[in-house]
Structure 1
């Protein structure tokens, strides 16, 4: 009890301090505003927007110029205050690391605001205006105003500033000045140019000229400037945390998303700082040390060269060439004690810690999201089907039990008991030796309804419909849309003792099913037991556990058993269900309605059908994923996608299909290994597997109409990213027109032969985002002209015959992520990768349960 009170007190203390700090920050700001009402960059920017609407170009030029100048002044003060307010370990009595981190960051933010209130006449704060400055919108206004008033030099410089920030997007803005007489692009000024940007060309020039002493001086100066700019960038992230708090009043968001965004902001500083003249040079600092070690070697400063090699290896530990250089230097120096540069040892340590912090905090956020999603999904399913929870795990003394009402009404219960009675009568008289007189299996029900015409087909349909509803409920309640498989379905009148299963993990229970369910068709009030039978009531027990048995009662109920293992599926059940569905649809002559029914039940939206797509065997549905799930999977891709994954021999980040894009991918097995290494969230990898499986189910219902099962051949989480500066006059595609199971010929025919993946029958793509430019999916005619174009967006699933011609338009800005899937009708090609991934996840759970 004392421990609980201590935890509660500490939590209360944390929240109180946060609220106090946030309120205090607001107070400082109000006090500053009372002291002085002078205009600041926010006021000038808002006036500039009004001037633009009124086309008052001179006023616009003055307002936006002043706003930019004031913004940069305030930014310098923010950096200064942020660096002044850096703290660490103030709250030593708080035991959890995330609590210390939160409190220190928010205290720093408060300190920054107090510092600003003392050093500025007014403390400016406007989230939307600050966002506009980050997007460089003021320079768009400056360009327009300068051009209209005839100040072409200022207009050209504004255009050049925008061009450098994004060469592809803003190339046209600069072109009109490059064509004017007297304008030389080499004379243009980048208003936002960092001091060390001009050094890069100089470094390359000095290296070519072999002027190594000058080269050393320039590189050392550049490293210092990069380090200083990085610290400025990181300092502003702490200021932004308070802005986040002031614009999101939900405390849990400040404690979770705000903190994650703060750390991500600091991680993103690498990209901002190492973008040189519009191009992100990923290994900019590392490569500087490569040039530096060589320059020191050439001037015979071997110790300094060795230190630079050691520092280089902090960034890329397995670089063979650099290891060879270091070995050579050490042979010359002997056993002299050497180490990398201290500042960069600290930098890499800090970067690793921040990555671990993001992982930990995102794991907490994912768990919260998962719990909320589970509750919402189960609630939505229950409401849609009229179900209600009669008793849950708490009432049944175990989280593995659930009792739900409402799967059948009285009329439906009566119809199924009549079906069982009719079957018993037919079975008694039948010469078919395999018919079980007291148990109606799915296989027998389908055979007798379709072949022998001795059972009412509508009652059999209700039988199959309710067991599928029961499976879906069980699936959702325990596994949040994870796939479980039928291993037994029986409509029985046997004694209720058959409901008893092992409730211990002993070897005697080895054959117990993973999940059992019993759905009652009759109500009885006289029996003893914790749960009484009732029409439409279902008892579900997970992992072979047992609820209190109800003795001495013969009654009708449906007994179901489910397995987690797809290989354990009862093939007779699967074949019978497929056969029944096929025949029913053939009778109705509506062979695609099964697909549409599944889509409607899952709240999906049919975006385009075959007629819209100018071809058969293709579909598009939306809402397969929500925004949170898409973000979770994109974050997974960020965690450990492999460059060129799926294309052996790739050694660069460029795509195998174009030199204008980066390409990286991740298989389910790779994702599971990241969980084992504690580099990825299990929730994300499980979602990857489950949502791709759901996509397979949708594709199967559409393409085979339930007649055949389709299997995964390959699953791939992939991202394509436009390379800045490589989009000018681009003529190629992100992925050229092709088909997935044949070899394309020069005459544009495609032959289904090796080395193509001839086993592939169907393909599908589940998109994760749409916030990029270009990258539309296209269906093509045999002459490579366009049949249909599709815009990717989160949750959009595109399915098509693997032999159809298709491609991807160039991604010209941003990154395009999706889960690509290929399916086969041949079970011999069933993707082993997915089973291995699940085994790795299960093994990780066992290790976690055992503890250290």
Structure 2
């Protein structure tokens, strides 16, 4: 196994410590390091945490090496499995030899004390999530070892891209004087992922010579990582995951227990292909990770003129999908170019990999059918004939479901008919073509100047009473203050008399009008539901704008995790994966900066910009095809209604229904009050009390002065309840 370059730093620490005593268990070193961290003993914390990381890597490497070595020394490779009548004693004799080999190897590599290196599952998960680097970066920063602090922070952030505090720390490091670009290195870099992303980059840039080299490296390193993962599957079982089954398993006989454990090992081995195809810090894997290499390679080799290797890669791809029409046609072309006598042979290593995988799947599916096991097959290329008859119907249903739920392609989206806009006066200012993208549009005159002023008055009156950050620092930048208000909170404040009821209701109406416009334009045949509605204001902090280099809102996509380095967007939590369309309804333009901009997937290349102004609505699909951000607001206050929509009713905004119910109740109360006023007026006229109609309940007979105060402040008095003409 190749050692990541960053590990050399940790290895040097181990060498410096000398061979005087056996290495302490990594979990104890970790615990002592964390204690030193909270005691602010930064030097000791850095030393112990580095040693714990090295100890964990050493333990994992020892386990992998022992499994590999003992597989050759005490396995079936030389003599083959026992087949004669005394097979049981011969089989278990070999098993005992393997166990002895593993025990001896672990003792030799771990200084005779392998048992003390068994750590709790929670501690192991910390190391898998690179948690020690979170502590290390602070310790190194306190010790003024900036290069090591930055590399530790970057190593943690790669595996935890949604960690908000680390995101802020990374932005600070990027702005910090004296920090070099090469300091941002991943000390735990996975070799096959580094090569894979470099290969994709060269492939996308039409540099096929370099693409071939890096993709071949990725494939080679990936298969090594697969072997390492499979070796670790033969290690200790997760005790926490087996607690519920422990009592039942104690009642099992010899063969039942062996079968249960062996099937768990086989399922772990099958899952390894997901592990190597999932980038650190991500949840979703790259589908068909190994087969896709050969698809890319056959094309790249063809582009550099190596038809022999192109044909070899195409033949290897067909081992996974033997009836793939596109690749079969490619094979015909390569065979014609090479000549009829040329022999094209798929790669033997991949043929062996597939045969081994199918043999394991066959055993697992037997256990599923006869022993009550479950199995989620990670490979879409598994032949259907391997699946038990009783599971084939379910398998087909799953495939059909995935096909129906698959997102529409960009070409299909562009072919969708655009609906007529449901409101007169609303104009389309820029479409997708003018915005240099897909599923984008800018419309104007959605609100009038008067309506914009009313909603701005609502935002100002709500002030720190909103639901969001209440005027505190923006979560995205320290140079701006951020205020947020939901529709429900606005109406609740109106009921309390804090804000104008009419303005709060206008927020509800403006957002619904925007929804109808977006629905009619993008999905005329499908209902759009609100996912979230937020009145948002960003205010430039006075005296903190000089030399500013950050954004008001960093580049992102709304329903997936943008990965600029991998040139992809991962549709997985914590992203709001159910959001389908996004929109922003602007309320003002009296500020500096604050333009919305779209980029390519690299989050750097700007493709279009939109300048906010009153009544302007920008709408777009929420996926990775539309990365966007907001330039810094350097002066003034930028306010807009942010809107997100979903096609799934189960993910519709619950607060929205509560807000609409509150409005209905308010209208019913007003109607009841209006009828009571009318009855009183008629009763008064019949009694001849006065020629002047009585004032409605709750309203002063002479309201001129109070009306003036109301119009200036924008706040409705509790006693004053004008009828809502809207």
Quick check: TM above 0.5?
no
Pick the TM interval, shorter chain.
0.3 to 0.5
Q: TM-score, normalised by structure 1?
A: 0.39
Q: TM-score, normalised by structure 2?
A: 0.45
